[in-house]
Structure 1
Amino acid sequence: MHDSLTYDQLQNLWKEAEMVHLQKKAKAEEVKATKNVKKAGRKITLSNQEQILLTLLYLYQYPSFLYVGAQFGVCESTANTIFRYWLPILHELLPASILEQVKKKVGDLEVVKEILTVYELTVDSTEQPIERPTDNEEQKEHFSGKKKTHTLKNQLIVLPKGEDIVDIKIG
């Protein structure tokens, strides 16, 4: 059974994400004022709401960035850029997985360990091709010897029947 996002919840997410985005933008402007920073690349034409929807769609379906970009009328690299920008913001705003919750509350660790030892966990991993990163360290991090290309590695750990998500790793 999937937890779905109601329209009201989506609107609240948009508002909260917009506030975080504006804070992030204000900090960037402060840095820009003190340093000679030039912004490269084309201006993204999608609204913030459309960018958040693009990110949520990618997280929900894990299609290629080429497919997501086509759905929103942007190129593959722009879809990737949008996803990488909004992911940390949404990660901050959306509910944490069981393991992330435990990291925040050390006392719950033993309870969660006990619960997780009772169940058999299902782990699924996939790799989505991405454009070759320009940063050398990031290239090394994202290169997949198995796929012989640069990929974004995703892992999902769930309880039986996919009822509860235990942990999600994207990167």
Structure 2
Amino acid sequence: MKKPIPLDKTISIFDLCKKIKMKTFANFMVGFPNETAEDIKKTEVLMRRLKPDFCSVCITTPFPGTELFNYAIQKGIIDKEGCEDLEYNVYRESNSCVSTVFSPQEILQFKNKLQNINFYRNYIKIFFNIKNLKYILMAFYAGIIHPVLLLKAVRQYIKNKDFDIIVIHFYRSLHRLLLSRKRAGKKG
């Protein structure tokens, strides 16, 4: 992928942010056409080197109108049927719709492995910060009062080994709870 900033510059910027105690966020993508196992390993090494405070790993999705979409159409590597039904959201729990050297399931496994590398930085620090206790308890409560949705999230986690699915369930449940309280005129 065309990156406007060289990796050495990215590393020095992350180092500077850490030095001045500025929180960092990194977004990585897997599933590019022609991506190799070596490329994915380099992504993992970079992720471990940057040590972002929060990290997101997404499956590459060729959005219509982008250079990647046009390239995928031109090379005949896009699964048009698979892409027609996409919601085109940035957090995809499903397989890639682009033909790569890996199967869609392998791409999903790479994504989940990379995402889970940052489990501690993404969640443990947040969960055990006393400042967040009120919201964590509210999210837990909101998540368990919707047992069908919770069960669905747990099944997805077991299937994909992606802890983000559980966290997103609790976040969405908390969001629904806070919206319903706001509509009812209660404070969150």
TM-score by shorter chain over 0.5: no
Q: Which of the five TM-score ranges fits, normalised by the shorter chain?
A: 0.3 to 0.5
What TM-score do the two structures reach when normalised by structure 2?
0.31
